[in-house]
Amino acid sequence: MPIKITKENFKSEVLESNVPVIVDFWAAWCRPCLMLTPIIEEIAKDLEGSVKVGKVNVDEEGQLANQFRISSIPTILLFKNGQVAKQVVGLMRKEDLLKSFGL
């Protein structure tokens, strides 16, 4: 299961992670976000141990959304070594998402 990312655990879960982290910025009212949820959950299960997967609810964590200039959702960021390595915006198939991230 994806980890719920908040401003309180962002540093430890994402920035200090020793494995790449996929972070899904989403909202409960966003239909494409809801359609992406099972894909994100599948990726979390498939890549468990080699990649960490988290979700940021932009309505609850506006500060994080602003920090990464999230203007459209869903936006999925790939963090490596505490830095944003890739960004994808919008609903995608699992294969395309993994390919975009080189996973």
As given in the structure block, the two tokens for residue 38 are 């099972």
Residue type, 80: K
Q: If you classify domain 3-96 with CATH, what class do you get?
A: alpha beta
36-95 pLDDT, tens digit per residue, is 999 999 999 999 999 999 999 999 999 999 999 999 999 999 999 999 999 999 999 999
Please identify which of the residues 33, 51, 53, 76 carries the catalytic annotation.
33
30 is catalytic: yes
- In angstroms, the CA 66 to CA 22 distance is 18
Please identify which of the residues 30, 34, 89, 98 carries the catalytic annotation.
30
Residue 98 binned pLDDT confidence (cut-offs 50, 70, 90)? very high
